[in-house]
């Protein structure tokens, strides 16, 4: 506490010194005003030195101000997260603070510590699954029925949510111990970019779309809109402050050898799933355009993924004429 009190005292002394120098500049202003025809060399030299010094001081003080504000924001955020982790809730176990997860990972040699490739793969798979579950529940609450929100042909997975979860983790990891406003801004930006790129890629690769926000205000080419960008921002806060630390704590419980094998197995499964799904959707779009099954691959795809099955999996997908 004494160190921080000393920091405050030094800041006050610096501020007073700046005020004194500001007053001292009055004489320089007067000399400059009296130099109507020509500025003396000694005055010009004196002003150049003062300008150089003030510029250097400004850079240093800006850097110090940014560091102090960052320290203040992080300490406040860590305190809030720490309180949240110990205040018991009757409806849901408390999430651990990101600080406690960081400490646990630093003290271990776990295969998925930090934000390495293993953890990102697991986040992508879990996010792909969890997103479908949430969408199914949301659809039921809004419409009274369940409708497929799958993005892949095998299993309840949607790569949009998995990629979104991984992208949010990468983008917001550095802000995990900072204020929620940073997570909101980052989530809003990253989520919107991921959603826009996924929409563009589906249209470019398959001539199809699974969502259209053209009827929403403040939309961009119907691919994203302000309302859902705000939702992405809120999700960013919930993700990095609540879901991620829970997931990281669960991942830390996986035994090292088993965890590595499980992660690479899931990665291989998702890769095959993506390739087969891409081929099935592409062949579906070909059937829409009356392209005949003139080779063995197309015949197998037609038999394995007929229109009825594809329509069940991709209930909201539409193809452009």
pLDDT grade for 301, boundaries at 50, 70 and 90: very high
Same domain, 223 and 195: yes
Measured in residues, the chain has a length of 321
Q: What is the pLDDT of residues 26-63, one digit of tens each?
A: 888 888 888 877 888 888 898 899 999 999 999 999 99
Q: Name the packing angle between helices 256-288 and 180-206 (round to 10°).
A: 40
Report residue 293 CA to chain centroid gap.
42
Residue 177's DSSP bridge partners are none
Q: What is the pLDDT of residues 147-170, one digit of tens each?
A: 778 889 999 999 888 988 898 899
User: In the block, which residue shows the tokens 């005949």?
Assistant: 292
Same domain, 32 and 158: no
Q: What is the pLDDT of residues 199-235, one digit of tens each?
A: 888 788 777 777 788 888 888 888 889 988 998 899 8
What's residue 149's pLDDT? 80
Smallest Cα–Cα separation from 7: which of 62, 71, 78, 59?
71
Percent of the chain scoring above 90 in pLDDT? 39
pLDDT, averaged across the chain:
88
Same domain, 199 and 173: yes
Write 184-190 long-range contacts (CB < 8 A, 24+): 184/233, 184/234, 184/236, 184/237, 185/233, 186/236, 187/232, 187/233, 187/234, 187/235, 187/236, 187/237, 187/239, 187/240, 188/229, 188/230, 188/232, 188/233, 188/236, 190/164, 190/232, 190/236
Please identify, among 86, 110, 126, the residue that sits at the C-terminal boundary of a domain.
Answer: 86
Span between the terminal Cα atoms of the chain, in Å: 69
Q: Is the pLDDT of residue 77 over 60?
A: yes
Please identify, among 58, 86, 114, the residue that sits at the C-terminal boundary of a domain.
Answer: 86
Same domain, 142 and 270: yes
- The number of domains in the chain is 2
What's residue 90's pLDDT? 61
Report residue 305 CA to chain centroid gap.
34
Q: How far apart are CA 302 and CA 147, in angstroms?
A: 23
Same domain, 239 and 125: yes
Same domain, 274 and 226: yes
3-class state of residue 316 by DSSP: coil
- The answer to whether residue 93 is domain-embedded is no
Q: How far apart are CA 42 and CA 44, in angstroms?
A: 5
CA angle at residue 251 from 246 to 253, to 5 degrees?
Answer: 105
- The answer to whether residue 148 is domain-embedded is yes
- The answer to whether residue 91 is domain-embedded is no
Same domain, 231 and 174: yes
What's residue 315's pLDDT? 79
Please identify, among 66, 86, 106, the residue that sits at the C-terminal boundary of a domain.
Answer: 86
What's residue 2's pLDDT? 66
The count of other CB atoms within 10 Å of the CB of residue 292 is 10
Same domain, 261 and 288: yes
Quote the domain boundaries for residue 171: 98-319
Q: How far apart are CA 218 and CA 228, in angstroms?
A: 10
Q: How far apart are CA 124 and CA 88, in angstroms?
A: 29
Same domain, 224 and 292: yes
The count of other CB atoms within 10 Å of the CB of residue 202 is 19
Same domain, 27 and 144: no
Q: Where are the alpha helices (DSSP H) in 35-179?
A: 41-86, 98-106, 117-143, 159-172
3-class state of residue 225 by DSSP: strand
- The answer to whether residue 92 is domain-embedded is no
Same domain, 112 and 81: no
User: In the block, which residue shows the tokens 């992405």?
Assistant: 232
């Amino acid at each position: 506490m004494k160190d921080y009190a000393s920091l405050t005292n030094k800041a006050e002394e610096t501020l007073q010194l700046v005020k004194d120098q500001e007053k001292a500049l009055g004489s320089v202003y007067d000399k400059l005003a009296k130099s109507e025809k020509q500025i003396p060399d000694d005055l010009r030299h004196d002003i150049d030195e003062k300008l150089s010094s003030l510029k250097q001081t400004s850079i240093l003080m800006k850097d110090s101000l940014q560091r102090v504000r960052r320290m203040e924001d992080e300490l406040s955020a860590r305190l809030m997260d720490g309180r949240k982790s110990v205040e018991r809730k009757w409806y849901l176990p408390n999430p651990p603070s990101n600080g406690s997860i960081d400490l646990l990972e630093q003290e271990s040699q776990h295969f998925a510590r930090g934000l390495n490739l293993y953890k990102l793969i697991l986040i992508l798979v879990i996010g792909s699954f969890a997103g479908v579950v949430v969408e199914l529940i949301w659809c039921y609450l809004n419409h009274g029925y369940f409708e497929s929100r799958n993005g892949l042909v095998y299993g309840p997975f949607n790569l949009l949510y998995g990629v979104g979860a991984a992208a949010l983790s990468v983008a917001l990891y550095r802000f995990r111990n900072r204020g929620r406003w940073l997570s909101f801004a980052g989530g809003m930006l990253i989520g919107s970019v991921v959603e826009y790129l996924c929409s563009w890629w589906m249209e470019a690769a398959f001539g199809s779309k699974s969502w259209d926000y053209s009827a929403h205000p403040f939309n961009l080419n119907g691919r994203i809109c302000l309302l859902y960008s705000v939702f992405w921002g809120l999700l960013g806060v919930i993700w990095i402050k609540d879901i991620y630390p829970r997931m990281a704590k669960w991942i830390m419980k996986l035994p090292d050898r088993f965890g590595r094998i499980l992660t690479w197995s899931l990665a291989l499964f998702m890769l095959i799933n993506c390739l087969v799904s891409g081929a099935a959707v592409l062949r579906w779009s070909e059937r829409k355009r009356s392209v005949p099954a003139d080779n063995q691959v197309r015949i197998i795809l037609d038999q394995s993924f007929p229109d009825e099955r594809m329509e069940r999996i991709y209930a909201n997908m539409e193809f452009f004429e």
